[in-house]
Structure 1
């Protein structure tokens, strides 16, 4: 007899509890595996073993960006691994092939790793769910329930679970400290930049303080240099196989703003403030309708964000280019962090994160105090009653209390 298997989360909430990437919230997946007969109500099902695990599937296809190459080669590479540990929820007693059951509710909690344990990959925080355009790279999570029915019949039931990461929120103090960098060309001119903060989300303003200063030892030559224009841009760099031998990089410019200057280099240097708005993706279609999100992938209003998987890595750079005459141009690339939420959204999450951390303080990962499993065996005296059925003269009828 086939089994009907489903997974339900805690009442009025998602499977995912806590905030992945923030260890104080003990991020975890809570729920219960429910097993019922696939046909009828009271026909017993033979169950030998039930396990559950959180599985991550990651795949890349560098050739997908080129239409011709993608038709000629199937260069898609993928990996599958288990996040955390697989949990054994039920095993029938030794010496028996299976247990005959009318229904099962098996609670579980899977803790998502939250510490970057150095070389220990099993402790790394798993990357967020993401699907890039043309599926050039994607990360996908699913709860995988394995049900063994007797010797031969083992079936796997996947349930997609979208996972987001919260350790890049632009409201965290570490991203709100000024970052500065310098670059020199021809020993004549120094380009210096300062960023007031370095984590950005969709439609966040990006502001850069720029300083071009002449070399005091070569002042005569430096003053002949003309500052033609200054360009500020944001680049997205996707690195395929970043841990392997054949790493491949593709760079895409997301936004650019050029300011014409046309000034000879002043003795005191040239100072300016330039800015642009971090680009956001329009989620609604031409009629203003929000499309249904695909199971397993959250709706992000950015095309990508800072993330590191096993097969690929997404990095972002703020680029400042000073175009000069009588000297070589200067290009400075400063790494920045891109968060999938805007600054206002990050502020809203902060209170919820604090609340989740207070809740998690009472929880022990070694003993999460799960509710007891409910198993209705076929020979339980009250088994039929629990299903709302009773025996009347050898005929099963709906029980009316």
Structure 2
């Protein structure tokens, strides 16, 4: 007899509690597995074993964005992992093949790993849910409930999608708000130096870069003959498919670019300028201004991708500055930056909630999270029908009216 299985979160809250990527908030999934009769209202269900786990599914298809290559290249590469541990929620008493159950509510808590990881893959913070255009990259999570009706029966699995975001790249964190600088030299004549006031950006965040071109004082006569034709600044997205494998493939997309024509000889004191652009955002609404219903597996992000590392892929971002010169080779400087799925204003709004989540998590022990009691009503329980909202009136089963 098949059962009706569903997973519900706590009242007025999400499955996901805490902020993945921020260990102080003890990110976790809280909920309960609810099992009811699958056919008829009062037909008991035989249950032998019930387990629950959080499963990560990841796949890549580097050729999917090209119609020609997609047909000739290999199919998708896919992996499935269990995040954390699988939990045993119920097992029928020893000596019995199964137990006839009327109703079952089984609370659970699955802690999402938040350790730095390193060699211990099991402790790595899992990557955020993500789907790139044409499904070249996909990562999504499911709560998988496994129910066995008898020891000789095959197991039945029920999957419920859980979108997961990461919050360790918020642009409001202090570590991203320190200036970053870099230099590059060409032909021993000219040095290109850049400085970024901060290095984490989200959709529609302003990106400003301070640029300095300096002549080499030891070769001043030659350096003064150099003409600065133009300076370009832009943002590149680099996707590395199969980055831990033998044959990683790279794909670079230019997301935004700004060019300034200069046309001046190299001054003795050097050339200084500020260039800026706006980090591109994805339009979430359609042509009629309607926000389409999102897929249950993925949060809706205003950026197509963000800085992340999965098992099969890695997405990195670079701010590039290119100085086009005459009488010297051009200089290109690529500086790594972090791309967050939320804009700066959104990151500010989350900070207070993160602090509160950390205070709440301080009272929770991962070893003993103090779960609510299970509710299991067997077919033999005298009040079993009452729990299902049914009463026997004159030998007939009818809805119970309190």
TM-score, normalised to structure 2's length?
Answer: 0.99
Shift of 1:381: 1.3
Residue in 2 that maps onto 1:20: 20
- 2-structure distance, mates of 1:174, 1:320: 23
Residue in 1 that maps onto 2:275: 274
Q: Give CA deviations for 1:18-66 in whole Å, capped at 9, x if unaligned.
A: 0000000000000000000011211100000000000000000011121
Shift of 1:389: 1.8
Residue in 2 that maps onto 1:394: 395
Are the counterparts in 2 of residues 281 and 302 from structure 1 also a CA contact under 8 Å? yes
Residue in 2 that maps onto 1:41: 41
**Greater than 3 Å deviation, 4+ residue runs:** none
Q: Give CA deviations for 1:348-369 in whole Å, capped at 9, x if unaligned.
A: 0000000100100100000000
Residue in 1 that maps onto 2:191: 190
Q: Give CA deviations for 1:107-161 in whole Å, capped at 9, x if unaligned.
A: 0000000111221000000000000010001101000000001121310000000
Q: Give CA deviations for 1:93-113 in whole Å, capped at 9, x if unaligned.
A: 111110100010000000000
Shift of 1:399: 2.7
- 2-structure distance, mates of 1:75, 1:314: 21
Residue in 1 that maps onto 2:9: 9
Q: Give CA deviations for 1:265-295 in whole Å, capped at 9, x if unaligned.
A: 0111001110000000000001000000011
- 1-structure distance, mates of 2:135, 2:311: 16
- 1-structure distance, mates of 2:91, 2:232: 65
Residue in 1 that maps onto 2:344: 343
The 10-residue stretch of structure 1 (144-153 or 123-132) with the greater mean CA deviation from structure 2:
144-153
Residue in 2 that maps onto 1:128: 128
Residue in 1 that maps onto 2:359: 358
Q: Secondary structure at the match of 2:328?
A: coil
Shift of 1:72: 2.3
- 2-structure distance, mates of 1:336, 1:344: 19
Are the counterparts in 2 of residues 60 and 78 from structure 1 also a CA contact under 8 Å? yes
- 1-structure distance, mates of 2:212, 2:400: 82
Matches within 5 A, 1:131-142: 131-142=131-142
Shift of 1:176: 0.1
Residue in 1 that maps onto 2:222: 221
- 2-structure distance, mates of 1:43, 1:366: 37
Gap regions ≥5 residues in structure 1 = none
- 2-structure distance, mates of 1:400, 1:297: 41
- 2-structure distance, mates of 1:390, 1:320: 76
Residue in 2 that maps onto 1:164: 165
Q: Secondary structure at the match of 1:46?
A: strand
2:204 matched to 1:203? yes
Residue in 1 that maps onto 2:101: 101
Alignment RMSD, CA only?
A: 0.8
- 2-structure distance, mates of 1:215, 1:279: 36
- 2-structure distance, mates of 1:79, 1:153: 23
Shift of 1:391: 2.7
Gap regions ≥5 residues in structure 2 = none
Residue in 2 that maps onto 1:65: 65
Residue in 2 that maps onto 1:257: 258
Are the counterparts in 2 of residues 62 and 75 from structure 1 also a CA contact under 8 Å? no
Residue in 1 that maps onto 2:76: 76
Shift of 1:393: 4.1
Q: Secondary structure at the match of 1:320?
A: strand
- 2-structure distance, mates of 1:73, 1:265: 50
- 2-structure distance, mates of 1:223, 1:156: 73
- 2-structure distance, mates of 1:265, 1:73: 50
Shift of 1:383: 1.1
